[in-house]
Amino acid sequence: MTMQRRIFIRNTAISAGLLAFPGKGFLSGFSEQPPFKIKALRNNISIFTEKGGTIAFLVNSDGIVVVDSEFPEQANHLIGELKKLSGSSVDLLINTHHHMDHSAGNIAFKGVAQHVLAHTNSKANQERVAKENKIEDQQLYPDQTFGDTWCEQSAGEKICLYYYGAGHTNGDSLVHFQHANIVHMGDLLFNRRHPFIDRSAGANIKSWISVLEKAIDKFSRKTLFVYGHAADGYDVTGNLDDLKAFRDYLGNLLKFTEAEMKSGKTREEILKATSIPGSPEWKGDGIDRPLQAAFEELTPNT
């Protein structure tokens, strides 16, 4: 039985159990369900969501690869599920970038993962933030790093990491499972959700647009993308149309902010905006964060 089939049967069994016991039984069963969700994608690759950025993982008979780790509690939940599915150790843990909702769970993989991999800048950012917050003892840093491209065979897959320049931070990786044709975008894609743009870690909106354009050119309509975050009602997986829409959102963000600045509006006035013209799907809380970042990027010497 394939690992993908095992995950499908596990999730189906949970759903069937809930349907079989209505009333109090239903409520009791629901309360006992795990706080996380696992969704099988294809070629033995699945996603895990609970608290933090979306985790992707590959489980084959000859190994396991995990992309991102959320927080320690959530990472331990995933590790528990991996042990049920396979007796193999985790060959490789990949961090798409350093933010804690993607890498704080690394520490749970100490002694579990053979290697941790990230972009050089991501490791440097993780070390810097840990020192600033005096949480160095809570870290498992990458023991392997790369510059522009990294490709290797692992757990029956050819996995490639690409760095196309600064975006959400200055250390964001795209992780491509080539045989499955699945790409984990990390936080380079916020699906219909206003993004966090971490200028303290080298984020740059203009460069981010270029990163997305390079991804759009490289991958195909058949590629399945995994996103770090999505707004309520939207998926953390999708296709090239999502990349194009988010690229356009970032362009509209810069265009709107620049026009407001040229009209004489202050930063405080600009931050009161409730929408980005041209990108109506991005709405709700958090709009002040990208507006602030755009204002700073368009203001000399900030």
Return the SS3 of 236.
Answer: coil
- Give the single-character DSSP code of 61: T
pTM: 0.89
Q: Where are the beta strands (DSSP E) in the chain?
A: 37-42, 45-49, 55-60, 63-67, 90-94, 113-119, 144-146, 149-154, 157-162, 174-177, 182-184, 190-191, 224-226, 229-230, 237-238
- Which residues is 39 bridged to in the sheet? 47
- Which residues is 157 bridged to in the sheet? 154
Q: Domains in the chain and their CATH numbers?
A: 3-22+34-298 (3.60.15.10)
Residue written as token pair 């509690």:
73
Reported as a single tens digit per residue, the pLDDT across 233-244 is 999 999 999 999
Return the SS3 of 255.
Answer: helix
- Give the single-character DSSP code of 107: G
**How far is the C-alpha of 74 from the C-alpha of 71, rounded, in Å?**
5
**How far is the C-alpha of 212 from the C-alpha of 97, rounded, in Å?**
16
Reported as a single tens digit per residue, the pLDDT across 58-112 is 999 889 999 999 999 999 999 999 998 887 789 999 999 999 999 999 999 999 9
For 31, the token pair is: 């309360």
Phi and psi at residue 185, to the nearest 5°: -90, -10
| pLDDT tens for the chain, residues 1 to 302 | 454 555 444 443 333 332 332 333 333 333 467 899 999 999 999 999 999 999 999 999 889 999 999 999 999 999 999 998 887 789 999 999 999 999 999 999 999 999 999 999 999 999 999 999 999 999 999 999 999 999 999 999 999 999 999 999 999 999 999 999 999 999 999 999 999 999 999 999 999 999 999 999 999 999 999 999 999 999 999 999 999 999 999 999 999 999 999 999 999 999 999 999 999 999 989 999 999 999 999 998 75
CA distances to 60, 159, 177, 204, 265 from 80, rounded to whole Å, are 16, 24, 23, 38, 53
Please report how many Cα atoms fall inside a 13 Å half-sphere around the Cα of residue 118, on the Cβ side: 29
